[in-house]
Amino acid sequence: MSRFMKAGMELEPPERRIGQAAHDFVMAMGAPEIVLSRAARAGDAPALASRWLQRLKTFAGEEAVESMAARGRTLLEWARELDKAEPVPFAPRPSPKPPLALRPQRFSVTEIETLRRDAYAVYARRILKLEPLEPLLRDPGAAERGTLFHDIVHAFAMSGTDPFAPEAEARLIEIGRDLFDRAALPADIDAVWWPRFVRMASHFIVWERGRPPGIKGRLAEVKADATPVGATGVSLSGRADRIDLRAAGMADILDFKTGSSPSKAQAHTLLSPQLALEGALLMRGAFADAGAATPAELAHVRMKANGEVVEESILEYNRQVKSADQLSTEAWERLELLLAHYGSEKTGYLSRALPFREGDTSGYYDHLARVLEWSAGGDGPGDGSEGE
């Protein structure tokens, strides 16, 4: 603020603070014993002595200044002695190796990515039985919004409403309003999320009507029974957001997303293998309601913040095209290798083997794994984040 504005608010002028500081300094200099110190560096650059200190040195003379500096060096040596300590090695990256009898024998499709990226998180949750605590006070966030939108499109599919019916959009909004009311969201969050859902509703119906013709049935939230994975002794189960049954024993598997993760690249390269593993379970008849079928399409259906609904196939990326059954088969083969790897007592549950981002330590179990300690030493492989 200007001097005029400060005066109008009855604030003191800057000269008063400067004068008061000068007064305090002069009074302190009258003490029987004083220590004058300054920083030798300012950030990464050498710091210059202030003008008053330079003037003091000039006035006192070289002999007096050297005598003062000698007494000061004694204090500095004492301070340096306090900082001396034996070097402490960085904490090692945790890689616990529990007995095989304690290792999980059943996984869900959503856990496989965690097992590959951060096996220590699986160890902490499944073997140590440590569950993250929910904050005492927290407003609903992206996770709750995603769950709510999933519940709405699931209820719409289960209602049997024909997407081509004139009242389809009104019916979707009616279902949405009912589930919003049941969620009992805070008024400010409802005021933001509800208009977003209404914008999305019309786009969702357009997307439904644009699906390939000849769909024989729409199955929502379909559960896959536990299925053995090769000779590993471990089984895999899961739940698909939606399976659209088509002719000739084919089916599309769709995964609804309200965020940008996982990306198309991560899904196609099987860094995020959920969709492909659901396709493998479908081929093995794990989805009882769908029966054994061949996946024709594996896709994310992204419900964006602007209301758009976009179907994003994961079968093509960077000019590489794979069929749904080919990608599913590859995912299953990699899964067998991964589970066989952890089927040995010599294999430890390594922390952050393939993290999303190197500097992100917000995982539920990163503090337990002391990530900030061992990562500062650049321990072992897997320090960097994945390339995208």
pLDDT value, residue 378: 62
List all residues 6 or more positions away from 351 whose beta carbon is below 8 Å from its beta carbon.
Answer: 93, 94, 95, 118, 119, 120, 366, 369, 371, 374
- C-beta of residue 189 within 8 angstroms of C-beta of residue 139: yes
Q: Is the pLDDT of residue 386 over 70?
A: no
Q: Which CATH number applies to 215-331?
A: 3.40.1350
Residue 30: is its pLDDT beyond 80? yes
Q: Does 379 score more than 70 pLDDT?
A: no
Q: Choose from 4-8, 9-13, 19-23, 253-257 the range with maximum mean pLDDT.
A: 253-257
Phi-psi region of 101 (alpha: psi -120 to 50; beta: other; left: phi over 0): alpha
What are the residue boundaries of the structural domains of the chain, listed by start? 142-209, 215-331
> What local confidence, expressed as pLDDT, does residue 357 receive?
78
Dihedrals phi, psi of 63, to nearest 5 degrees: -65, -45
Higher pLDDT, 38 or 107: 107
Please state the rounded mean pLDDT for residues 10-19.
84
In angstroms, the CA 94 to CA 375 distance is: 11
Residues 6+ apart with CB under 8 A from 262: 113, 271, 272, 274, 300
Do the bridges between strand 250-257 and strand 294-303 make them parallel or antiparallel, or are there none, so unpaired?
A: parallel
DSSP state of 287: B
DSSP of 316-338: EETTEE--HHHHHHHHHHHHHHH
Least confident range from 80-84, 100-104, 136-140, 179-183: namely 136-140
Q: Which residue from 252, 239, 327 is spatially nearest to 286, judged by alpha carbons?
A: 239
Better pLDDT: 25 or 112: 112
For range 338-350, the mean pLDDT = 95
As a whole number, mean pLDDT of residues 321-330 equals 95
Q: Dihedrals φ, ψ of 120, to 5°?
A: -60, -35
Find the helix packing angle between 324-341 and 274-283, rounded to 10°.
Answer: 100
> pTM for the full model?
0.75
Average pLDDT, the chain: 90
C-alpha 42/C-alpha 228 separation (Å) is 63
